[in-house]
Amino acid sequence: MTSRVEIFEMGPRDGLQNEKRMIATADKIALVDLLSQAGFRRIEVTSFVSPKWVPQMGDATQVMAGIARRAGVSYAALTPNLKGYQAAHQARASEVAIFASASEGFSRANLNASIADSLERFRPVADAARADGVPMRGYVSVVTDCPFDGPTAPSDVARVVAALRDMGCYEVSLGDTIGQGRPETIDAMLGAVLNELPADRLAGHYHDTAGRALQNVDASLARGLRVFDAAVGGLGGCPYAPGAAGNVATEALARHLAAQGFDHGLDMAVIDRAAAFARTLREETHA
């Protein structure tokens, strides 16, 4: 029997948010609508953050209003605080996500708060999501390496995963944010995290900066993970890690999984069209 693996599409949010040139709202909607035809169960569409901090996501409400929603697809939004959650809920986000760091240095740079303080900020979001019946996902950044603090201790990742679990996250995505993870460091990290949350509630989120994302996926598959975040066309990066590549490309991950006998359920013809379109957005940005 073929084992099923799910790819959670990140391109419209995690992919586009680091692009310097403002991408037209219509192009963001067109990308989501194309991805909706590919067979994804979950697509992260946008982020309800302050436009002052992430100008690219300033049209979140318009994008959510403009997409053609397809039955069976969950349209997710990142929500860093209660105000963001309320806007996302009003915009009919199917689910929301909160994000914490496994290192103090990255937490202060990315969230302007300690890990403990950032988690406290998310409690009102968690309470509101629970009251509204909105599923909430969690992210942990820099799970193996931090650009400020160096290697991340697996126990530090496990502590943050436990906090997000206790806050009500149905799944926690583990981010190799700067793409410096190696199969052995991913495996060691998972060895600690699996003591807090089972593999069927974890996802791998691996950037391809060092060209090891697919190897890290393989290490995670061996540990039982069956959900992986990816960005069509390899969009993305990290503002705190100059030169960091984007998420592992959806099309590369899908073919890699299929070659190993895993079923991802995606229409590769649609994925390839979406990847080509995504690359035009990046090419225009970096022209």
Residues making up the chain, counted from first to last: 287
Distances (CA, A) of 36 to 2, 100, 243: 24, 28, 30
**Considering only CA atoms, which of 185, 220, 189, 224 is closest in space to residue 204?**
220
Reduce the DSSP state of residue 11 to 3 states and report it: helix
Ramachandran angles phi, psi of 122, nearest 5°: -85, -15
CB 40 within 8 A of CB 73: yes
Tokens of 10: 């990140």
Distance CA 23, CA 26 (A): 8
Distance CA 212, CA 44 (A): 23
Provide the residue type at 139 as one letter: Y
Label the pairing between strands 150-151 and 145-146.
Answer: antiparallel
Among 16, 169, 230, 238, the active-site one is 238
Site of tokens 């029997």: 1
Site of tokens 């997710």: 76
Distance CA 57, CA 284 (A): 18
**Other C-beta atoms within 10 Å of 174: how many?**
29
238 noted as active-site residue: yes
Distance CA 218, CA 150 (A): 24
Q: Which residues contact 55 (CB under 8 A, 6 or more apart)?
A: 22
- Please list the active-site residues: 238
